[in-house]
Amino acid sequence: MTSNTFLDQWIRNHFFDAVPICAAVIDRDYNLLYANKTFEDVYGDWRNRKCFSAYKKRDQPCGICKGSEAFSDGISRVSEETGYDQSGRMTRYIKHTIPVREPNGRIPYLLEMSIDITEANQVQRERKLLFDEVPCHIVLMDRQFRIVRANKKVRENFGEVVGQYCFEALKGLGLPCEDCTARQTFTDGKIHVGTHVWRSGLGHPVHHQVTTLPVPNENGTFDVVMEMTIDVSETMELHDRLNRAHHFMETLIHTAIDGVLAMDETGNVTILNPAARRLFGIQETTPVSGTSLTYMLPEGAIKRLIDGDERVFLPDSQIQTTTGETCPVRLSGARLQYEDQPLGMAFYIQDLTTLHQLEQQKLEAERLAAVGQTVAGLAHGVKNLITALEGGLYMLSSGMQKANIERMDKGLDMLARNIERISVFVKAFLGFAKGRHIRAWPCAPAAIAAEVVDLHSPKAHRLGIELRNEPAETDIPEAPIDYESMLECLTNLVGNAIDACQMSDRCADGLVRVRTFEERGVITYEVIDNGCGMDYEVKKKVFTNFFTTKGTGGTGLGLLTTKKIVQEHGGIIEMETEPGQGTTFRIRLPRSRLPKPASNGDAEPSNPSYHQV
């Protein structure tokens, strides 16, 4: 036997059984004449059965029978069929029906080969699962916008909507939407995206992003559009909240009385509110560069933030305006960052012009008040002097009447002495009224206190009062102070304190302490005495309000002069008095407010440590 013969025999005997598709031969009466193994595996024993019985478990031929068509027209055809396998499970298969034509043209048999596509159906099921379970709403609709299919999520939220108009079912509207993306897709066959507000099952509006796309059928046309929607309500709400917060911040910044400006990391100006524009003198429409602002802001403000400071606060600084003027401001700045990501820097600028004017007016008012008090004091001082002069005149005239030489001499002495006192008094008054120009030079604040204590120690010792200098433990750096004027201030306060001790009932324990220290940039002198009691209270009240020529001379002007000098140094003078404890006078000199050191044109005192009181 040749190999060809063997192959012929093998094909005849085995090939039919070996092919992996169901193959069977039927006659014109639909009897199954032959079937291969695969067929038998699927449909069971086929012998003595009709094809409709094997494929479909029917008793009668099928209504539409592709086999009978093939017998009559002799054309091979392919059809999709549904049947049942031997265990009764539905199978889907593609059947090729091939007429077996005899040489004479008769067609006594048909070869039927069927391919099981039940597997493909599995894919379809998966597709359906995807359709239902995908976390978005999907509806299919026809050209009338009637929903023909809806996925589970739609059914859950809107109920059974198939058959309803989409605008009715999803939005509760009576007419299609104006901006219907499905209509656009039906018109041009393209994918369209839009946003819609639907009513939810609970009645509140839900924002959706909608995508509509055509569902093509076999011939490439389409009559159905698929609409997929994603709930973007949360995103929309966040967006809305962000917008509101932004608007809120923007309004705050825009309407702020203080200047607000911000720059990003690259130095672009991101915020420059109207108040800041006014401060710098920049027109509303003029663009501003970060570089120009760097020159206009107080020197070093930006640099400090760049160099690593988190914040910068300049309580008393100034900015440059576009017109080249300076404007007094209080400035605070901060580096901006979010979770390690630098965002630039921001500054808040408060215009101090009005405040400075008010301060100036207040100083002026205080000066005028001081002048008023001084004038009142002057009148009383004059009254005392007049009384003494009247006394002198009385003594002189009564001495003359009585020819009493001794009395006349006394009267003349009184007149001479009190005329001299008037002269001293007027000089002192003029000195105060004229004032002295403050000339500040860098000097050690503690040295002034030390000198005052040295000067007063002999007098205090004589009166049995202890006078103690208590400098700060650490040296206070030099500061621009008018040495001579500050010496005068402390002399006045120490003199008063010694008087207070002297007037106290406990004069024997009299103690005056002069403390000098600096805290947070404020140089402070304290003159503390333990001379206390109502007597001193009364006297103090009188001394702060009135002028007197009593005592060691010029004391009434002392506190007024002291106050004036302290004010000229930008400082304040405070007094605390505790009945039974004594009195503390405190001069506070913030370094930032100290006068500028006198220019080189002014003569520097040859020896600032030596001053005559």
Partner 1 sequence: MAPKIMIVEDEPDIRLYLMAVLEDNGFIVCIPSDDASVCSMAQQERPDLILLDILMPRRSGVSIYRELRSNPNLSGTKIALFSGMDLEPNMETGGFHRLLGDDTISPPDGFIPKGIRVGSLLDAVRTLLEAPTR
Please state the closest distance from residue 461 (CB atom) to partner 1, in A. Answer: 18
- Cα gap 528→530, rounded to integer Å: 7
- 243: which 2 tokens? 């917008």
Kindly state whether residue 34 participates in binding partner 1, applying the rule CB under 8 A. no
Kindly state whether residue 534 participates in binding partner 1, applying the rule CB under 8 A. yes
- Cα gap 533→134, rounded to integer Å: 91
C-alpha neighbours within 13 Å on the C-beta side of residue 544: 11
Kindly state whether residue 373 participates in binding partner 1, applying the rule CB under 8 A. no
Sign (positive/negative) of CA torsion 180, 184, 189, 195?
negative
Closest CA to 490 of 510, 507, 470: 470
Question: Is 316 in contact with 593 (CB distance < 8 Å)?
Answer: yes
| C-beta closer to partner 1: residue 322 or 373 | 373
Could you give the string, one character per residue 477-506, with x where binding to partner 1 holds by CB under 8 A and - elsewhere? ----------------------x--xx-x-
Please state the closest distance from residue 396 (CB atom) to partner 1, in A. Answer: 11
Q: Which of 128, 383, 461, 468 binds partner 1 (CB under 8 A)?
A: 383
Tell me the window of 196-204, 298-306, 388-396, 584-592 that interacts with partner 1 (CB under 8 A).
388-396
Kindly state whether residue 268 participates in binding partner 1, applying the rule CB under 8 A. no
Concatenate the DSSP letters of all residues of 356-400 into one string.
Answer: HHHHHHHHHHHHHHHHHHHHHHHHHHHHHHHHHHHHHHHHHHHHH
End-to-end CA distance of the chain: 150
Amino acid in position 217: N
Kindly state whether residue 405 participates in binding partner 1, applying the rule CB under 8 A. no
Tell me the window of 73-81, 85-93, 288-296, 386-394 that interacts with partner 1 (CB under 8 A).
386-394
Q: Are strands 511-519 and 466-470 parallel, antiparallel or unpaired?
A: parallel
| C-beta closer to partner 1: residue 229 or 504 | 504
- 269: which 2 tokens? 């100006």
Kindly state whether residue 551 participates in binding partner 1, applying the rule CB under 8 A. yes
- Cα gap 23→38, rounded to integer Å: 7
- 244: which 2 tokens? 């509101």
Question: Is 299 in contact with 312 (CB distance < 8 Å)?
Answer: no
| C-beta closer to partner 1: residue 6 or 394 | 394
Kindly state whether residue 390 participates in binding partner 1, applying the rule CB under 8 A. yes
Residues that bind partner 1 (rule: CB under 8 A) add up to a total of 33
Tell me if residue 143 falls in helix, strand or coil.
coil
Q: Which of 535, 574, 578, 604 binds partner 1 (CB under 8 A)?
A: 535
Q: Which of residues 409-438 bind partner 1 (CB under 8 A)?
A: 410, 414, 417-418
Tell me the window of 11-19, 328-336, 406-414, 424-432 that interacts with partner 1 (CB under 8 A).
406-414
Q: Which of 77, 436, 539, 586 binds partner 1 (CB under 8 A)?
A: 539
Kindly state whether residue 538 participates in binding partner 1, applying the rule CB under 8 A. yes
Distance of CA 376 to the CA centre of its chain: 57
Please state the closest distance from residue 503 (CB atom) to partner 1, in A. Answer: 6
- 28: which 2 tokens? 């014109």
Kindly state whether residue 400 participates in binding partner 1, applying the rule CB under 8 A. no
Kindly state whether residue 387 participates in binding partner 1, applying the rule CB under 8 A. yes
* 210 sits in which H/E element: strand 205-216
Kindly state whether residue 363 participates in binding partner 1, applying the rule CB under 8 A. no
Kindly state whether residue 245 participates in binding partner 1, applying the rule CB under 8 A. no
Tell me if residue 73 falls in helix, strand or coil.
helix
Q: Which of residues 504-523 bind partner 1 (CB under 8 A)?
A: 505
- CB proximity list for 344: less than 8 A, separation 6 or greater: 262, 263, 264, 265, 270, 335, 336
DSSP bridge partners of 606: none
Q: Which of 79, 85, 546, 605 binds partner 1 (CB under 8 A)?
A: 546
Q: Which of 210, 395, 443, 501 binds partner 1 (CB under 8 A)?
A: 395
Kindly state whether residue 380 participates in binding partner 1, applying the rule CB under 8 A. yes
* Residues near partner 1, by CB under 8 A: 380, 383-384, 386-388, 390-392, 394-395, 398, 407, 410, 414, 417-418, 499, 502-503, 505, 533-535, 537-539, 542, 546, 548, 550-552
